[in-house]
Structures are given as structure tokens and as C-alpha cells.
Amino acid sequence: MPNTPPKPLPALRIGVLASGEGLTLQALLDAIAAGQLAAEVVIVVSNNADAGALRRARAAGIATRHLSMATHAHAEALDAALTAALREAAPDVVVTAGYMKRLGPQVMNAFQRRMINVHPSLLPKYGGAGMYDRHVHAAVLAAGETESGASVHFVEGDYDSGPVIAQAKVPVLAGDTVERLAERVKQRERTLLVDVLRQRAASGRFTAEPMA
């Protein structure tokens, strides 16, 4: 009897939480369109009604929701609404892509070890409250570091505190400015995130594995 080839895994269903322009979301959409990632983005949620991420999602035909203190005045109600919106979309994994709102316990519990974030440093260095975007790169340069990088980690209660899934190093070059370092790290952040999601799509799980 001939061997039956294994059935391909279904496309990874991704939910995205974003507050800004949505460049990380666009990187995911580009990777999917190029056949580099067997996935689909099933919902994009933002706490900013004018977020570019929502515009990008709508242009791509992806379901969107604006959920914030403007739509739900109480934190518990907002947490419940976000949890319900994500559960309805049924993502396999949720990516926080520049989401500038602290997540509540309901959504954290509902998507425990299925919610990941990408951070522009080699955690645990330069993580925590106030460490985002250019603040991270400015701190790296001020400390005279010779390398920086990107980390993909599970989202837990405190900022940037969850276990690291994968990291990629980026050298700090002589004469680097915050802007130059930020651009190189951003490029590596996006490819690292796609790599991690590709791994998850292929294996059905996340594994801790450094990605140089």
C-alpha cells in the first residue's frame, strides 16, 4: 500500500493588535502574499480609531475593530470586549505589533502562550515600561553597546517580561544615530517575527531557538 503523504497544516490564523501605522502588519501581509508564510490575518484590533494599521487591514479585506476607552469607559468592559472580538475571530496566535495599551487579565488568560510581541532589543536588556521605539535605541547608544537586536517573546503581565522565543542580533556601528540603528533593527524585527510565525505554522507550536 503506497504511503499517503501527510496533509498540509491549515494556514496559521493570526490576530494583530496595533496602535500605529501598521508597518509590522504590512510586513506580515507581504510575507503571506509572497508565499513566505502559510498564514492569514483574520482580525486587526486597535485602540486608535485613526491607526494606519486599521486602514491597511481594511484595504486588504481583513476584519477590523476599534476598541478603546472611547468605546468602553471601564477597563474591565474593554478587556471583555477585546477578548470577545479575538475569540470570535479565532486566531491561533495574537501578535501585538506596536500596541500601546496595557492588556487586561481576561485577554491574557484567554490567549496565554498564544500571544507574542516583538521588541527592539536583546531582552532582558532595555525592556520594561518606557522602553519602546527610539527610547530603546537611544539607551543602547548611550550605554556604548556593541550590539543590539530584536526579541520575540510571549506576552505576560509586565511589559516585555514573558519568556523569549527567539532573538536576532544587530551590530551597533561606528557613527550610528538613533535613526540608523532603529531602521536596521526594525528590518530585523520583521524578518524575525515572520521566521517565528513560519516555525509555528509548520510545527503547530513555538520553540525557543536563537535566530542569528
Query: What residues are labeled active site?
Result: 119
C-alpha–C-alpha distance, residues 157 and 208, integer Å: 20
HSE at residue 7, side-chain half, CA atoms within 13 A, is 3
Separation CA 194–CA 129 (nearest Å): 25
C-alpha cell at 189: 524585527
Looking up cell 551590530, which residue turns up?
171
Task: Tally the residues of the chain.
Answer: 212
User: What pairs with residue 150 in β-bridges?
Assistant: 168
In whole angstroms, give the CA distance from residue 64 to residue 66. Answer: 7
Nearest of 209, 207, 205, 192 to residue 9 by alpha carbon:
205
- Judge residue 196's burial from the number of C-beta atoms within 10 Å of its C-beta, 0-12 exposed, 13-18 middle, 19 or more buried: buried
- For residues 145 and 209, give the distance between their C-alpha atoms in angstroms, rounded to a whole number: 23
Tell me the HSE value of 98 on the side-chain side, using a 13 A CA sphere.
20
Would you tell me how many other CB atoms lie within 10 Å of the CB of residue 60?
15
